[in-house]
Amino acid sequence: MAETLSSTLTFDLAAEGVRELNRMLHDPQLIAPTPQPARLTVLNPGGKHAIAVGIDGPWEVEIDGHVGYYCAGMNQHATVRIRGNCGVGVAENMMSGQVIVEGSASQAAGATARGGLLVICGDASARCGISLKGADIVVRGSVGHMSAFMAQKGALVVCGDAGDALGDSLYEARLYVRGKVAGLGADCIEKEMRAEHLVQVSGLLGAAGFEDLDPADFRRYGSARRLYNFHVDNAGSY
């Protein structure tokens, strides 16, 4: 049972299950009457999977420890802060809201996310932002190989380095990397950093709380758009 400590609820995953937690977060009665966001602290997450998934309301959730797969998956409107590391697919298919990972993230962070902001204060592993569909991702550290694979819309800002095959088969997503890029994927090229891109990076760094970094230090990567329509002359690219 959730307990109320001042105006913040607490939920102890050592005492009750993920199913009860999510059911509570899906309960419209808990968020409907209050003009302020409902606040919840989750204790003892213990690396459990599917914590705080499918939220559809203005919750502010803090998770005090490490989480497993798909934490904050398909989030809508909520702000979810993870005070630890997270497993595969954090904030996958997020629609809106914010997810902040204070540690590092495993593979496929922000996969297919459509809206909102994912901030990773540590590193992100392979396939960060895979099939991104409109959300923004800011990674303070580095990202692994195949990040932004087939990314369609949105932005991936990497303050550290990027692994191999960055932006492979990219569509219209924008990629910004401050450090080294081990290699670009098929149809991904470096592009000019124009004023509008500096503004975008500056805004995203500010939203992520990384104002200490200079947007001018980032380089932009995007799609060459050579593979948008299949042509046999490009067969070697596949």
**How distant, in Å, are the alpha carbons of 79, 82, 97, 107, 134 from that of 87?**
18, 11, 20, 7, 22
CB of 91 to other proteins, least distance (A): 10
CB of 201 to other proteins, least distance (A): 22
CB of 209 to other proteins, least distance (A): 26
* CB atoms inside a 10 Å sphere around CB 104: 19
191 binds other proteins (CB under 8 A): no
**Interface with other proteins (CB under 8 A), residue from 13, 18, 139, 184:** 18
88 binds other proteins (CB under 8 A): yes
Interface residues for other proteins in 26-85 (CB under 8 A)? 26, 49-50, 53-54, 56, 68-70, 73-74, 76
19 binds other proteins (CB under 8 A): yes
Span interacting with other proteins, options 39-47, 156-164, 175-183, 222-230, rule CB under 8 A: 222-230
175 binds other proteins (CB under 8 A): no
96 binds other proteins (CB under 8 A): no
**Interface with other proteins (CB under 8 A), residue from 41, 98, 104, 131:** 131
**Interface with other proteins (CB under 8 A), residue from 63, 117, 121, 133:** 133
Residue ranges binding other proteins (CB under 8 A) = 18-19, 22-23, 26, 49-50, 53-54, 56, 68-70, 73-74, 76, 88-89, 92-93, 95, 107-108, 111-112, 114, 127, 130-131, 133-134, 149-150, 152-153, 169, 171-172, 228-230, 232
